[in-house]
A and B are shown apart, each in its own frame.
Chain A
């Protein structure tokens, strides 16, 4: 993997921020976009733009081909099987809400259980809280070990024959750990439950094989994987999607409409009411091409190297706390500096051109579990280098000095 050649393809990286060359360490929040993605979106608007699935004219056909072509690319990327099992959504949040609002609300009732974990992002937590409230089902949590991981024993104990839905994130956006999705899926299925996976932090960074994992639903966002904002997808098994009610009604999703009754199109269209996010899908398709050309395994390997390097480098600083397991972590490091609030850390780093995230990372229950109100997080992607991490470590030292002096 030639990092310099990769970095050349990201126009945004080549600028100064506050007088320093930008070091972008916030890709877990949103990744940057390569030239090919920016060009694909522009080209679509300049040459092919029209509405999809309706017009007879040439542009309508081109737009439809581009949109459906992107669906096929997503299906191939995830080894998802038939492309109609891919529903385009606004992102992971919309995708998870679709499963919770449609599947869970018609398949859960009193006495049933929905099982999640305390490390979930709010978008894989609140939809289930609300579904449990609406249906009378019980929301249960698989407990976490002191390092944040979940044990097979606890998974076995928490999932029971009353469980109807299990929903777990593949990769924690705070702890950087990878959950044993295949094993959880087997336990869920053995108990008659369906398995939902939040793939927001896994899809951009590692090879995903949905047929091998055998999960029932899988959600992800385009903007974290070099694609545009406002596009993501939900994978669902055909057998389940075919039985699900749409949650949005309108154009594009209907079969026959009468004054008092209507019927729906086949999947995936019945879940894509309204004019879809065509340019977004085109951009996502270009992002998938870009990532696959480099290779997800290569990207994964590069990020794990960076994460290991960052973990070593940062843990040598005095007064730093790192969160999450040391082993088997993906490309992010979450930390706190003693006596300096993460916002203050982020402001000082920004003054040196380094972009990190500070706050609760949309994981308030996990913050309480960690017994902190907020943390700082540096997250890496294919365009980051060890040099970026050296600059981070130097800047953190200076932050400690600055605050040590300022409040000393």
Chain B
């Protein structure tokens, strides 16, 4: 068990300097999600224009893995269509299962591949992606 596999430099950078942390004033989609087993929580805001995520911000509390994952996810999905974003979420689930996937769209996500070796922490990494899925599904259902 190598801690450096989990806590890679990219992850710690996103933890220390989170991208897109904050809230949006404009009319946006807000998704609040908890990880009830540990108390982590995320509030994700998406700005949506014609089936596209034009901006994303998050706030909340959690460990280095959940917060860095949220930071990366918001960077990765900005400018993506719903389908593209959901495809990335699928790919991220595959990454957590240990499948050999690569994120050409946003390579920093590859750094989270080490989480797969720490089963107790997978839920931390997927929290933000679950919020994204939930937000997009809500949008798709309401249209």
Say yes or no: B1 contacts A374, CB within 8 Å: no
**With known contacts A347-B118, A348-B3, A341–B39 Cβ distance under 8 A:** no
Query: Which of A341, A364, A367, A402 sits near B63, CB closer than 8 Å?
Result: A341
Q: Contact check: which of B9, B16, B39, B63 meets A344 at CB < 8 Å? A: B63
Q: Which residues of A contact B64 (CB under 8 A)?
A: 341, 343-344, 403, 407
Q: Which residues of A contact B121 (CB under 8 A)?
A: 343, 347
A128-140 interface bits toward B, Cβ cutoff 8 Å, 1 = contact, 0 = none: 0000000000000
How far apart sit A342 and B118, CA to CA, in the bound complex (Å)? 15
A-B contact pairs, 23 of them (CB 8 A): A18-B1, A19-B1, A341-B62, A343-B40, A343-B65, A344-B7, A344-B64, A347-B121, A348-B3, A350-B1, A359-B39, A360-B38, A360-B39, A373-B39, A373-B41, A373-B61, A373-B62, A374-B39, A402-B7, A403-B64, A406-B7, A406-B12, A407-B16
Q: How far is the CA of A347 from the CA of B123 in the complex (A)?
A: 14
Are A359 and B37 neighbours in the complex by a CB distance under 8 Å? Answer: yes
Residue B15 at the A interface, CB < 8 A? Answer: yes
Most buried by B among A348, A402, A406: A406
B38 / chain A contacts, CB cutoff of 8 Å: 343, 358-360, 374
Alpha-carbon distance A342/B16, docked complex (angstroms): 16
Contact with B along A331-362 (1 / 0, CB 8 A): 00000000001111001101100000011100
B31 at the interface (CB under 8 A from A): no
CB 8 Å contact bits of B1-17 with A (1 = contact, 0 = none): 10100110100100110
Q: Identify whether the interface residues of A are mostly helix, strand, loop, or mixed.
A: helix
Question: How many residues of chain A get a CB closer than 8 Å to chain B's CBs?
Answer: 21
Nearest residue (CB) in B for A17 is B1
Cα-based distance from A367 to B120 in the complex (angstroms):
21
Provide the residues of chain B in CB contact with A341, threshold 8 Å: 62-64
- The verdict on B53 contacting chain A, using a C-beta distance below 8 Å, is no
CB distance from B3 to the nearest CB of A (A): 5
One digit per residue, 1 when the CB lies within 8 angstroms of any chain A CB and 0 when it does not, for chain B 49-70 equals 0000000000001111100000
**Chain A residue at smallest Cβ distance from B35:** A359
Verify if B44 is at the interface (C-beta below 8 Å from A).
no
Alpha-carbon separation in the docked complex, A347 to B114 (Å): 13
CA distance A19 to B3 in the complex (A): 13
Contacts of A406 in B (CB 8 A): 7, 9, 12
Residue of A nearest to B64 (CB): A344
Quick one: which of A233-280 are within 8 Å of B by CB? none
Q: Compute how far the CA of A347 lies from the CA of B122 in the bound complex, rounded to whole angstroms.
A: 12
Closest to A367 in B: B39
A 350-408 contacts with B by CB, 8 A: 350-351, 358-360, 364, 367, 373-374, 402-403, 406-407
Whether B109 sits at the interface, judged by CB under 8 Å, is no
Bound: A341/B7 CA distance, A: 13
Asked if A373 contacts B40 (CB within 8 A), the reply is: yes
Q: Kindly state whether residue B48 has any CB partner on chain A within 8 Å.
A: no
| CB proximity of B75 to chain A, nearest CB, Å | 18
Distance to closest chain B CB from A403 (angstroms):
8
Considering the complex, which residues of chain B in the window 109-127 have a beta carbon less than 8 Å from any beta carbon of chain A? Answer: 118, 120-121, 124
CA gap between A351 and B117 in the complex, in Å: 12
Contacts of A351 in B (CB 8 A): 1, 3
How far does the Cβ of B108 sit from chain A's closest Cβ, in whole Å? 16
